[in-house]
Amino acid sequence: MNNKKDSSVGAKDVGKISVVTFAIMNIVAVVSLRGLPAEAEYGLSSVFFYVFAAAFFLVPVSLVAAELATGWPEKGGIFRWVGEAFGPKLAFMAMFLLFVQVCVWFPTALTFGAVSLAFIGPDQTFDAALSENKFFVLAIVLAIYWFATFVAFRGVAAFTLLSKWGGIIGTIIPAIILILLGFAFLFSGEKIQIELAWKDLVPDLSNFNNVVLAASIFLFYAGMEMNAIHVKDLDNPTRSYPLAIGMAALGTVVIFVLGTLAIAFVIPSADINLTQSLLVAYFDMFKWAGLGFLGPIMAICLAIGVLAGIVTWVAGPSTGLLEVAKAGYMPRFWQHTNNNGMATHILLVQGIIVSFLAVTFVVLPSVEAAYQILSQLAAVIYLTLYMLMFSAAIYLRFSQPNRPRPYRVPGGKKGLYVFAGVGFTSSAIAFAFSFIPPSQIAVGSPTTFISILVGLSLVFAIIPFLIYAARKPHWRNENSDFAPFTWQVEGVHPGVENHSDRHTESVTEMHREGKGDAQ
């Protein structure tokens, strides 16, 4: 009885998230300054890739996710969207892959946090060597991750607060400082490390190796749809969600483009290191500006930004998986929650998986090689989810054409087909490129590299189908408020066109009345 009271109070306290806070949460979830050095290598042509990826990936993701989240705002996120279109089996695979993708991604993001903390000392040469020490990286990765997990245990109010202010301190402010210093360096007349000529704006697309590595920029924009799971926590989500997503998308592009150029101005492309160059750029620019003492402080800020991003990602997918588990898709073990309503068992198992993956930094040849392998595995999984999301959006316009959609992709049905089709095609191309080892990074045997990616991808895709096949009726939690799919309530099949024009509230009320009659 007390637990139920605590849960309801907690939900009320969390209540509503402002548009600005939600936009910042999305920027924090998407923007990672750690990825900028990889694109700074391209100099001015990086602008082309950022704008290209924004047009063919970020814009479609933002528009399509806005339609799906406001048209089907019930709990579940991508599970809900895929399930409405293709049924529960693929929906469960999508939610499981999201959980796995986050687990795989954590060590790569946390590596940047470890490198940041390595640079808080006074000796930059020693700091650079420390950042390459695999045991140091492993220790910091585990420490930051488990701290973030215990913050998530405190509930939604705690992680949204840390996500907001940690994102401001560790992502937005550092990004502004990086951009201001980089362009101050440019306008001061100092010799910069790239050419600023129109001919350099469009890259050499005949170089296949450049295209492969540059294709990874699509995943720089991944995550804009993740916080759709919190859409019901917004005031007037029909208006607020698209507005917040638009603000976040614009801010993301600006930070990526200007931040990458700032690094390219200072560091020669031949000297760029995926894990260190951002910190080196800060130190070099602070030294140039006579503010060298700020270097270690910035390193701490960046580590805080990593923590904020990790907390956001720790809590998001685990919350979604908990709701799906309670709906009867996973055993009762996975449904355990604490007094704050957080999925403690899921979070703990997630932590064990992340810890195991982090150990790969000790086993593989170098921190940079491990970083790249895990990054591309995360990309393979995530791009699979995007292809499912775009496919679901297209199919739902056919199968549920009259479903009230408070926000629709511009251009009517043709507009949706264009944006979702472009997004699907872009995701498919980036997916294929993700299996090609980058020539710029020593990852060992290419055959081994590809085998690891293919093997793990297949394993992770098969596991959810095995769990689904083994599900039992008693797995469903009697207190679950997870709404059924529209086609379930109305007695049709997801593959059949359904002309119902019921609002979400109406469908849910039908479900409740049905349960009441049955009782």
- Is the four-CA dihedral 183, 187, 191, 197 of positive or negative sign? positive
At residue 400, what are phi and psi to the nearest 5 degrees?
Answer: -130, 65
pLDDT of residue 395: 94
Q: What is the pLDDT of residue 94?
A: 92
Residue 126 has pLDDT above 70, yes or no: yes
- Give, in degrees to the nearest 5, the angle at Cα 413 between 412 and 417: 120
How many residues does this entry show for the chain? 519
pLDDT of 201 higher than 70: yes
Beta bridge partners of 234: 17
The tens digit of pLDDT for each residue in 341-384 reads 888 899 999 889 888 888 776 666 555 666 667 777 888 888 99
Pairwise CA distance, residues 302 & 438, whole Å: 27
Question: How does residue 9 score in pLDDT terms, banded at 50, 70 and 90?
Answer: very low
Q: Which residue has the higher pLDDT, 466 or 65?
A: 466
Residue 103 in this model has a pLDDT that exceeds 50? yes
Separation CA 510–CA 102 (nearest Å): 35
Question: Using a CB cutoff of 8 Å and minimum separation of 24, what contacts does 346-351 make?
Answer: 346/99, 346/318, 346/321, 346/322, 347/149, 347/152, 347/153, 347/314, 347/318, 348/149, 350/99, 350/102, 350/103, 350/149, 350/314, 350/318, 351/145, 351/146, 351/149
321-350 burial code (b ≥16 CB/10 A, e <16): bbbbbbbbbbeeebbeeeebbbbbbbbebb
- The angle subtended at Cα 482 by Cα 6 and Cα 404, nearest 5°, is 120
Output the pLDDT for position 219.
75
> Residue 443 — pLDDT band, cuts 50, 70, 90?
low
Query: Do residues 318 and 343 make contact, with C-beta atoms less than 8 angstroms apart?
Result: yes
Q: How far apart are the first and last CA of the chain?
A: 21
Comparing 422 with 360, which gets the higher pLDDT? 422
Query: Is the pLDDT higher at 200 or at 441?
Result: 200
Between 106 and 390, where is the model more confident? 390
Query: Among 345, 330, 350, which Cα is nearest to 464's?
Result: 330
The residue ranking higher by pLDDT, 176 or 32, is 176
Report the mean per-residue pLDDT for the chain.
80
Question: The domain 22-513 belongs to what CATH superfamily?
Answer: Amino acid/polyamine transporter I (1.20.1740.10)
**pLDDT recorded at residue 468:** 93
pLDDT of 508 reads: 65
Question: What confidence tens digit (pLDDT) does each residue in 460-495 have?
Answer: 899 999 999 999 989 998 888 778 888 888 888 887
Q: SS3 sequence, 418-477?
A: HHHHHHHHHHHHHHHHCCCCCCCCCCCCHHHHHHHHHHHHHHHHHHHHHHHHCCCHHHCC
Give mean pLDDT, residues 283-307: 85
Highest mean pLDDT among 21-25, 141-145, 173-177: 173-177
Kindly tell me if the per-residue pLDDT of 60 is higher than 60: yes
Helix (H, G, I), strand (E, B) or coil at 165: helix
User: Of 153, 147, 176, 178, which Cα lies nearest the Cα of 308?
Assistant: 147
Distance, CA of 230 to CA of 504 (rounded, Å)? 16
Q: Which value, in Å, is the radius of gyration of the alpha carbons in the chain? A: 23
Q: Calculate mean pLDDT across residues 63-88.
A: 87
The tens digit of pLDDT for each residue in 33-55 reads 777 887 787 788 888 888 888 88
Q: Which two tokens stand for residue 512?
A: 């409740």
Q: Tokens standing for 354?
A: 């992340």
Alpha-carbon gap, residue 308 to 147, rounded angstroms? 11
Q: How far is CA 7 from CA 11, 341, 519, in A?
A: 6, 6, 25
pLDDT at 45: 82
Q: Which of 170, 240, 10 is nearest to 162 (CA)?
A: 170
Contact call for residues 215 and 20 (beta carbons, < 8 A):
no
3-state secondary structure of 17: strand
Lowest-pLDDT range of 105-109, 145-149, 258-262, 264-268: 105-109
Burial 387-401 (b: 16+ CB within 10 A, else e): bbbbbbbbbbbebbe
Query: pTM, whole model, 2 decimals?
Result: 0.79
Query: What number of other Cβ atoms are within 10 A of residue 472's Cβ?
Result: 9
In angstroms, rounded to a whole number, what is the distance separating the alpha carbons of residues 419 and 415? 6
**How much of the chain is helix, strand and coil, in % rounded to 5?**
75, 0, 25
* More confident position, 250 or 220: 250
Q: Mapping DSSP to helix (H, G, I), strand (E, B) and coil, where does residue 299 land?
A: helix
d(CA 274, CA 267): 12
Predicted confidence (pLDDT) per residue in 311-338, tens digit? 777 777 788 888 889 989 999 999 888 8
Three-state SS string over 91-107 comes to HHHHHHHHHHHHHHHHH
| Structure tokens given for 40 | 């700074």
Name residue, tokens 């991604």: 105
Looking at the predicted structure, is the pLDDT value of residue 2 above 60? no
- Residue 163 contacts residue 17 (beta carbons within 8 Å): no
Alpha-carbon dihedral sign for residues 374, 229, 58, 164? negative
